[in-house]
């Protein structure tokens, strides 16, 4: 269960990488590849292993000038899905 107090980071073996040949950013994981959408990419780019989910939500709410409660719901759902896929750990 991911909460605002969680500190999510990319799991070992997962890498966020530029895919120059196709002009996009991809998530490389064990024998899998995800193409994150713009929102997921914005979240993943903020995971540095120190920053908590709450701080990520603060930054995105400011960046998109959107209500914090909406951003919080979206981000926590997305982090939960990424954790289920093994892309991030806490």
Q: How many CB atoms lie within 10 A of CB 88?
A: 23
Q: Find the binding residues for other proteins in span 3-62 (CB under 8 A).
A: 11-13, 15, 17, 19-22, 26, 28, 30-31, 33
User: With respect to other proteins, which residue has the nearer C-beta, 22 or 38?
Assistant: 22
- How far apart, in Å, are the Cα atoms of 80 and each of 2, 3, 19, 31, 84? 6, 9, 25, 21, 6
Residue 86 interacts with other proteins (CB under 8 A): yes or no: yes
Min CB(1)–other proteins separation in Å:
9
d(CA 85, CA 77): 13
Residues that bind other proteins (CB under 8 A): 11-13, 15, 17, 19-22, 26, 28, 30-31, 33, 83-86
């Amino acid at each position: 269960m991911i909460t605002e107090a969680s500190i999510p980071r990319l799991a070992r073996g997962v890498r966020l990488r530029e895919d120059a040949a196709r002009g996009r950013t991809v998530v490389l994981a064990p024998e899998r590849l995800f193409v994150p959408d713009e929102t997921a990419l914005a979240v993943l780019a903020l995971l540095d292993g120190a920053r908590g989910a709450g701080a990520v939500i603060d930054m995105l709410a400011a960046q998109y000038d959107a209500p914090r409660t909406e951003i919080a719901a979206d981000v926590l759902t997305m982090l939960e899905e990424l954790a289920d896929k093994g892309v991030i750990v806490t």
